[in-house]
Amino acid sequence: QPCVPLQANVINLKTFLSAVRLAHQGNDTSVLPLSPLVPAKNSDVEKPKTKMIITSRRDYPLTKSFPFSLEHLQTSYCKLARIDSRVLCLRRLRKLDLSLPCRIGQLSRLRFLSAARNKLPFLPWDFRNLSLENLDLFGNPFEQPNPLVPNIQLKIPLTLLECAARATVNHRIPYGCHLLPSHLCKDLEVAKTCRCGSACLSSFIQITVTMNLHHVAHTVVLVDNMGGTDAPVLCYFCSLHCYSQFLDRHHG
Ligand SMILES: [Zn+2]
C-alpha cells in the first residue's frame, strides 16, 4: 500500500517479529538480541501531521505524498485543474477544502466540505454517498440539469473489453496488477455505477440530475443568492433500458 508509509528499523523489526514468534510458540526469547528499550527522544518522534493548508501552487506537493495522518486539508489559490486521487488515500480526513475528485464518496469520515467559489459545473456521481455535517458550494457555475439531453457514450454491441470489465466489477472478481495491465486496473477502479447497481466503464449514458444537498449534509450553505440548495449531480446508465426506465419514472 503506497498510501501508508510505515517507518521502522528493518533489523530491529525482524528481530522483534522473531521474538514474537518464539514467544507465541512458548520458547525462550532471551536468546534473541532485542534492543534495549531506550526511551525515544523528542527529536526521534515526529508528531503525525493532521492539518495542511496550501495557499500557493508552489507549495503543492508534486513529488512527495500527503501525510497519511491528515484530518484537515485545504488547497486554495493553487489553480488546480483537478485534484489528484492521492487525496482518496487520506482515510482520516474530516475536513477538505478544494475542488472535487470523482470518487469523493469514498471519504466516509468527511464531515465538513467547502468548494465555494470554484468552477464546478456539476458534482461527481458518488457525491450522494457522502454524509456531511456542513457543506458549502456557494458561487459555482452549476449547470441546469436536463435529463432529456443525455450524453450518449453507449456502444452497442458492447465491446468484449467492456463486457469483461463490467462482469469483473459486478461479480466482485478479484483482480490486481499481477493479473491485469495497470491501466486496466485503473479503469476498473473508476467504474461508474448505474442506477440498477451495475457497473459501466466506457460505454454509458450520462445525464445530470438535480439533488437537494440536504440529502448529504445536515447544514447546507445556499448555493446562490436565490436561496437554492439544489445542485446538479452526474448520473450514469449502463443501458438504454435503464435510461428509459429512469425517464418513465421521472417524466412519465
Ligand atoms: Zn443499469
pLDDT tens figures, 16-64: 888 888 888 877 766 666 666 666 676 666 778 888 877 667 777 777 7
Q: Whose CA is closest to 117, among 250, 30, 29, 225?
A: 225
Cα-to-centroid distance, 3 and ligand 1 (Å): 33
Neighbours of ion ligand 1 (CB under 5 A): 194, 196, 198, 238, 242
Entry pTM? 0.61
| Residue 125 backbone phi and psi in degrees, to 5 | -65, -30
Task: Judge contact between 15 and 34, C-beta under 8 A.
Answer: yes
User: Greatest CA span in the chain, whole angstroms?
Assistant: 79
Between residues 7 and 93, which one has the greater pLDDT? 93
Cα-to-centroid distance, 156 and ligand 1 (Å): 14
> SS3 for 25?
coil
Highest mean pLDDT: which of 86-90, 103-107, 119-123, 227-231?
227-231
Element (H, E) at 207: strand 205-212
Report how far residue 98's alpha carbon sits from residue 114's, in angstroms, rounded to the nearest whole number.
Answer: 7
For residues 87-92, average pLDDT? 77
Q: Within 50-156, where are the H helices?
A: none
Cα-to-centroid distance, 196 and ligand 1 (Å): 4
pLDDT given at position 25: 82
Mean pLDDT computed over every residue of the chain: 81
Cα-to-centroid distance, 103 and ligand 1 (Å): 19
In this prediction, residue 89 has a pLDDT band, given cuts at 50, 70 and 90, of: confident
In this prediction, residue 1 has a pLDDT band, given cuts at 50, 70 and 90, of: very low
Between residues 104 and 165, which one has the greater pLDDT? 165
Cα-to-centroid distance, 24 and ligand 1 (Å): 51
Report how far residue 206's alpha carbon sits from residue 102's, in angstroms, rounded to the nearest whole number.
Answer: 14
Cα-to-centroid distance, 207 and ligand 1 (Å): 13
Grid cell listed for 95: 475536513
Task: Judge contact between 6 and 65, C-beta under 8 A.
Answer: no
pLDDT given at position 35: 63
Q: 5 pLDDT exceeds 70? A: no
Q: Whose CA is closest to 164, among 197, 186, 188, 181?
A: 188
Cα-to-centroid distance, 155 and ligand 1 (Å): 14
pLDDT given at position 34: 65
Q: Are strands 217-221 and 132-136 parallel, antiparallel or unpaired?
A: parallel
Q: Which of 175-184, 194-203, 210-219 has the lowest mean pLDDT?
A: 175-184
In this prediction, residue 77 has a pLDDT band, given cuts at 50, 70 and 90, of: low
pLDDT given at position 91: 78
Between residues 97 and 23, which one has the greater pLDDT? 23
Between residues 69 and 84, which one has the greater pLDDT? 69
> SS3 for 236?
strand
Cβ neighbours for 187, distance < 8 A, ≥ 6 positions apart: 165, 201, 202
In this prediction, residue 251 has a pLDDT band, given cuts at 50, 70 and 90, of: low
For residues 99-115, average pLDDT? 77
Q: 241 pLDDT exceeds 90? A: yes
For the chain, what percent of residues have pLDDT higher than 90? 28
pLDDT given at position 250: 78
Cα-to-centroid distance, 243 and ligand 1 (Å): 8
Task: Judge contact between 211 and 127, C-beta under 8 A.
Answer: yes
